[in-house]
Amino acid sequence: MEHLSPFDIGALIFFLFCWLLYSWLIYASPWREKSLTHMMDAYRHTWLRAMLSRQMRIADTNIAAGLQQGTSFFASTSLLAIGGAFAILNSTDKVVELAKELPIQLTPDPAHWETKAIGLIVILAYSFFKFGWAYRLFNYATIIMGSVADTQGKEDPEALERVDRAAKFVTLAGRHFSRGQASLFFSVGFLGWYGGPHVFMAATLFVFMVLVRRQFFSKARAVLL
């Protein structure tokens, strides 16, 4: 890290601060219940309670399959992105030479490029683990849903207990999925570091503001209200 300037270190600290602040706002702050992510939790429980009123549960299985497929897509995307970051890491000299020919000013130091590529790999690996675990939790939820017999209605206490447990699994999976998505979004801000610490901070702030707006001030949230 000795090759990083104080401005680079300050920009990296700012990046981590924005990411942690966003996570705190959505999952731990006094305003978390007003976020779009939290507001959707009630609908997850309502969906699975409504499942007990349907004898044919094809719609419910389709919803569960869709959730798994979406999570699988993002997990695969994270793996591909990790491969791309490793390609940059293994071809640093060629990438630096290419950067010199670009019309924008980029840092030509190979050590800088390698450090940033490693940081990008760490972020993408975190997102992959989040998506992978979310996929597994969605899978557990579908197994619990499948354990509820068609003959068990909404008045059956055992069925109610199982769908509530499935709803908790779906909610927990949704939280991990949301964290994985946020890490992908912040990885876009991290790419700004290749343009220098000032671009890095500006890109990070832009991503942070977009994510906060979507959670607290978006039209999607207004629809739920």
Question: Which are the contacts of 167, defined by CB distance < 8 A and separation ≥ 6?
Answer: 44, 45, 47, 48, 49, 141
Q: Is 191 part of any domain?
A: yes
Number of domains forming the structure of the chain: 1
151 compared with 61, residue with greater pLDDT: 61
Domain hosting 58: range is: 35-224
Residue 101 clears pLDDT 80, i.e. is over it? no
Q: Would you call 103 helix, strand, or coil by DSSP? A: coil
Q: To the nearest whole number, what is the mean pLDDT of the chain?
A: 87
pLDDT at 99 over 70: no
Residue 143: phi, psi to the nearest 5? -65, -45
DSSP single-letter state for residue 102: S
Is residue 122 one of the residues assigned to a domain?
A: yes
Average the pLDDT over 45-68 and give the result.
86
In a domain, 106, yes or no: yes
Identify whether 7 is part of a domain: no
Let me know the angle formed at the C-alpha of 134 by 133 and 136, rounded to the nearest 5 degrees. 65
For the whole model, what pTM was predicted? 0.88
Q: Identify whether the C-beta of residue 134 lies closer than 8 Å to the C-beta of residue 116.
A: no
Q: Evaluate whether residue 43 is within a structural domain.
A: yes
Q: Does some domain include residue 203?
A: yes
Whether the predicted pLDDT of 71 surpasses 60: yes
Looking at the domain assignment, is residue 47 inside a domain? Answer: yes
pLDDT category, 185, cuts 50, 70, 90? very high
Please report whether residue 26 resides in a domain: no
Residue type, 92: T
Residues 188-202: tens digit of each pLDDT:
999 888 888 898 999
